Amino acid sequence: MTKRTIMLVCSAGMSTSLLVTKMQKEAEARGEECDIFAVSASDADNSLKEKDVDVLLLGPQVRFMKAQFEGKLAETNIALGIIDMKDYGMMNGPKVLDQAITLMDQPD
Protein backbone atom coordinates (compact mmCIF):
# COMPACT_ATOMS: atom_id res chain seq x y z
CA MET A 1 0.00 0.00 0.00
CA THR A 2 1.35 3.41 -0.93
CA LYS A 3 1.43 6.32 1.46
CA ARG A 4 -1.26 8.88 0.72
CA THR A 5 -0.90 12.59 1.35
CA ILE A 6 -3.98 14.51 2.47
CA MET A 7 -3.83 18.29 2.72
CA LEU A 8 -6.52 20.22 4.58
CA VAL A 9 -6.85 23.92 3.87
CA CYS A 10 -8.58 26.33 6.23
CA SER A 11 -8.49 30.06 6.77
CA ALA A 12 -5.72 30.10 9.38
CA GLY A 13 -4.51 26.49 9.55
CA MET A 14 -5.24 26.34 13.28
CA SER A 15 -8.81 25.12 13.62
CA THR A 16 -8.12 22.13 11.44
CA SER A 17 -5.25 20.75 13.52
CA LEU A 18 -7.63 18.87 15.83
CA LEU A 19 -9.34 17.33 12.82
CA VAL A 20 -5.94 16.28 11.45
CA THR A 21 -5.15 14.52 14.75
CA LYS A 22 -8.47 12.64 14.67
CA MET A 23 -7.95 11.65 11.03
CA GLN A 24 -4.42 10.40 11.78
CA LYS A 25 -5.68 8.25 14.66
CA GLU A 26 -8.38 6.78 12.43
CA ALA A 27 -5.91 6.11 9.61
CA GLU A 28 -3.59 4.29 12.03
CA ALA A 29 -6.49 2.23 13.39
CA ARG A 30 -7.36 1.19 9.83
CA GLY A 31 -3.77 0.45 8.87
CA GLU A 32 -3.80 3.24 6.26
CA GLU A 33 -0.46 4.93 5.66
CA CYS A 34 -1.29 8.62 5.43
CA ASP A 35 0.51 11.93 5.74
CA ILE A 36 -2.26 14.29 6.86
CA PHE A 37 -1.58 17.96 7.48
CA ALA A 38 -3.34 21.31 7.59
CA VAL A 39 -2.28 24.64 6.15
CA SER A 40 -3.74 28.10 5.90
CA ALA A 41 -5.16 29.14 2.54
CA SER A 42 -2.27 31.57 2.15
CA ASP A 43 0.30 28.74 2.58
CA ALA A 44 -1.47 26.25 0.32
CA ASP A 45 0.50 27.08 -2.83
CA ASN A 46 3.84 26.55 -1.06
CA SER A 47 2.69 23.21 0.35
CA LEU A 48 1.51 22.06 -3.07
CA LYS A 49 5.00 22.80 -4.45
CA GLU A 50 6.80 21.11 -1.55
CA LYS A 51 4.72 17.95 -1.11
CA ASP A 52 3.33 15.27 -3.38
CA VAL A 53 -0.32 15.80 -2.39
CA ASP A 54 -2.96 13.21 -3.37
CA VAL A 55 -6.05 15.07 -2.17
CA LEU A 56 -6.80 18.60 -1.04
CA LEU A 57 -9.79 19.17 1.22
CA LEU A 58 -11.08 22.67 1.80
CA GLY A 59 -12.55 23.54 5.18
CA PRO A 60 -16.11 24.87 5.03
CA GLN A 61 -14.89 28.38 5.89
CA VAL A 62 -12.86 28.55 2.64
CA ARG A 63 -15.25 26.66 0.35
CA PHE A 64 -15.62 29.87 -1.67
CA MET A 65 -12.06 29.21 -2.91
CA LYS A 66 -13.02 25.97 -4.68
CA ALA A 67 -12.97 27.46 -8.20
CA GLN A 68 -9.58 29.04 -7.51
CA PHE A 69 -8.14 25.67 -6.43
CA GLU A 70 -9.78 23.87 -9.36
CA GLY A 71 -7.77 26.14 -11.64
CA LYS A 72 -4.54 25.53 -9.73
CA LEU A 73 -5.06 21.76 -9.72
CA ALA A 74 -6.32 21.43 -13.31
CA GLU A 75 -2.99 20.12 -14.64
CA THR A 76 -2.42 17.74 -11.72
CA ASN A 77 -3.84 14.45 -10.46
CA ILE A 78 -4.73 16.01 -7.10
CA ALA A 79 -8.33 15.37 -6.04
CA LEU A 80 -10.27 18.27 -4.55
CA GLY A 81 -13.20 18.32 -2.14
CA ILE A 82 -14.94 20.43 0.47
CA ILE A 83 -15.26 19.08 4.01
CA ASP A 84 -18.90 18.77 5.03
CA MET A 85 -19.76 21.53 7.51
CA LYS A 86 -21.35 19.08 9.96
CA ASP A 87 -18.36 16.71 9.86
CA TYR A 88 -16.01 19.65 10.31
CA GLY A 89 -18.00 21.08 13.20
CA MET A 90 -18.14 17.69 14.94
CA MET A 91 -14.44 17.10 14.14
CA ASN A 92 -15.48 13.73 12.68
CA GLY A 93 -12.08 12.38 11.66
CA PRO A 94 -13.37 9.02 10.38
CA LYS A 95 -15.94 10.63 8.04
CA VAL A 96 -13.48 13.18 6.66
CA LEU A 97 -10.89 10.42 6.15
CA ASP A 98 -13.54 8.42 4.28
CA GLN A 99 -14.20 11.44 2.09
CA ALA A 100 -10.49 11.85 1.30
CA ILE A 101 -10.04 8.17 0.46
CA THR A 102 -13.14 8.16 -1.75
CA LEU A 103 -11.84 11.18 -3.67
CA MET A 104 -8.39 9.60 -4.10
CA ASP A 105 -9.83 6.30 -5.28
CA GLN A 106 -12.03 7.86 -7.98
CA PRO A 107 -10.74 7.28 -11.50
CA ASP A 108 -9.35 10.39 -13.21
- Asked about 34 being catalytic, the answer comes back as no
Q: Which of 6, 8, 9, 10 is an active site residue? A: 10
Burial 11-41 (b: 16+ CB within 10 A, else e): ebbeebeebbebbbebbeeeebebebbbbeb
Residues identified as active-site: 10
